Every structure is written in C-alpha cells, then in structure tokens.
C-alpha cells in the first residue's frame, strides 16, 4: 500500500489528480485502477447499476490499493449523500447543483457539526463499526471528506457566483456532456461554445480559491485542462477503458478500423 495523503489534502496543496468513473460492480477493476496509478475512482450510482451494498465492497477494494473512493450519487437527496459517506467513501459528487441553496444543503449534509448537519451514527463502516473513538471519528470525517458540486447546465452557471460563496464546497466540477446538452448541442464537448463556457467557469472558480474539476475522454484533453489549472480530472469510464483496450488489440491483430 502506498499510504498516500488524503485526496482533499492533496488538492489543497495544489496537486492535480486523475481517476475514472466506475460502472462495473467489480472489485478487481477498482484494484487495477489503483495498481495502474490513478489517484481516485468515482463509483457511479447515477449512470451505473451499483447498489449501496456493492459500493461498500468497491470502497473496500479501493482501500486495499490506497486509491481514494468517491461516490457520485444519483440525486441531491440527503440520505444518498450520508449513506455514501457511511460506507467509507472519501467524498461525494452531487449532480446538477444549480443554486446556492442546493450547494448549502450539500455542504451541510456532508459534514458533522459544527461544520454541518450530517446524520450521526457511529455504527457504520466509516466509523469502523463503533470501534473508533466517537469524537475522533467526527473530527476525522470532517477533515477528510471531499465535497464536490457538479455544475452541469446554464442554470448552474448563472448561479455560479452565489454557489462559490458557499462555505464547505471543495471542488466545483464542470460536467461537459450535460453542459453541451444545455447549450443545445448534446455530445459536442469540444465545440467552441462549450469550451468557452467551461473556461469561464474554471477561471471564476479558481479566482475564488476553489478547486476546479471536469470530465475528459482521453489523456490529451486531460493534459490540456490540467495546463489551464484544472486540478481534479476524471478521465474516461472503466467500461470505456476496457473497450478501448480490447478494440485496440483487435485492430492490431486484424487491421480493422473502428469509429469512435
């Protein structure tokens, strides 16, 4: 195990981190991501079939190889956020944050008092099933939990200044695919209109001292956004990475051509 620092601390120190979304209910894939050198995995309950029981086991797999497990919940519902953290996730991504009120609710739900109103239960995996000292657990959870607000449409961008005023949001994550749909050009994430919106959001977030995150399809795009100061970069999805590896092998074997 590499005994890395907590992801939230690494971002606060200015590191740039990379990791894929995960849809497969496979502890082995999570372990492979860690062994390959990624910094985090995002266990996707919004666009994937994962149950919380499965998520808990994937979190265990992440801990084996010292890669930070994060969970994208499928709704802003507070119980989904709390359950993700209770099974041991180091952080949560919450989709479609479009107002200061939604950002405030997220920040308060993800941390215990005095920094929030997270539901309290010591008898959960995150507290080592009550074996941790209760006060140490509350303090550790507040210090280590990474809170990520996903801005995915023009409504969120319109409220960005108010969202950035909310204390307790660590990363503002720009969702390029949903943003492209909001602009009426779904899937065209490299279109100049999408890129310009993303750059303006990134500049505004960084000017307020917060970390910017986004999703990219490939390493070239990851390097481009990293050069622009984006620190939290989700690159591709486990199923896509597996498919690309298999496809490239078939191409090498048969000389066939596949369209992306």
Q: Which residue has the tokens 């979190």?
A: 59
Q: What is the pTM of this model?
A: 0.94
- Print pLDDT tens along the chain (260 aa): 455 789 999 999 999 999 999 999 999 999 999 999 999 999 999 999 999 999 999 999 999 999 999 999 999 999 999 999 999 999 999 999 999 999 999 999 999 999 999 999 999 999 999 999 989 999 999 999 999 999 999 999 999 999 999 999 999 999 999 999 999 999 999 999 999 999 999 999 999 999 999 999 999 999 999 999 999 999 999 999 999 999 999 999 987 666 66
Question: CA 41, CA 6: separation in Å to the nearest integer?
Answer: 13
Q: Can you list the domains of the chain with their CATH numbers?
A: 7-254 (3.20.20.60)
Question: CA 90, CA 43: separation in Å to the nearest integer?
Answer: 11
Angle at 192 (CA atoms; ends 11, 14), nearest 5 degrees? 10
Q: Find the radius of gyration of the CA atoms of the chain.
A: 18
Instruction: Return the pLDDT at 61.
Output: 98
Distances, alpha carbon 168 to alpha carbons 148, 154, 176, 198, 232, in Å: 9, 22, 23, 22, 17
Going by their DSSP bridges, the two strands 211-216 and 232-237 should be labelled as parallel
Catalytic one of 47, 96, 115, 257 = 47
Instruction: Return the pLDDT at 1.
Output: 43
Question: CA 210, CA 223: separation in Å to the nearest integer?
Answer: 20
Q: Indicate if 47 belongs to the active site.
A: yes
């Amino acid at each position: 195990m590499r005994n890395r620092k907590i992801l939230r601390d690494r971002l606060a120190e200015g590191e740039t981190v990379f990791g894929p979304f995960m849809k497969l209910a496979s502890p082995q894939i999570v372990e492979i991501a860690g062994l390959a050198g990624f910094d985090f995995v995002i266990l996707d309950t919004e666009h994937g079939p994962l149950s919380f029981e499965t998520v808990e086991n994937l979190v265990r797999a992440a801990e084996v190889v010292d890669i930070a497990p994060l969970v994208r919940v499928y709704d802003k519902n507070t119980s989904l956020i709390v359950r993700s953290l209770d099974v041991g996730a180091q952080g949560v991504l919450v989709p479609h944050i479009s107002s200061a009120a939604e950002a405030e609710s997220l920040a308060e739900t993800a941390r215990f008092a005095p920094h929030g109103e997270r539901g309290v239960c010591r008898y959960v995996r995150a507290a080592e099933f009550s074996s941790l000292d209760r006060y140490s657990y509350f303090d550790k959870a507040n210090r280590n939990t990474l809170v990520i607000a996903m801005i995915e449409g023009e409504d969120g961008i319109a409220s960005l200044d108010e969202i950035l005023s909310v204390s307790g949001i660590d990363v503002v994550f720009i969702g390029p695919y949903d943003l492209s749909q909001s602009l009426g050009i779904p899937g065209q994430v490299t279109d100049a209109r999408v890129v310009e919106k993303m750059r303006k959001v990134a500049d505004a977030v960084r000017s307020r001292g917060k970390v910017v995150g986004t999703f990219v399809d490939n390493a070239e795009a990851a390097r481009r956004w990293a050069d622009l100061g984006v620190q939290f970069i989700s690159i591709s999805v486990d199923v896509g990475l597996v498919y690309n590896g298999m496809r490239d092998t078939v191409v090498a074997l048969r000389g066939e051509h596949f369209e992306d």
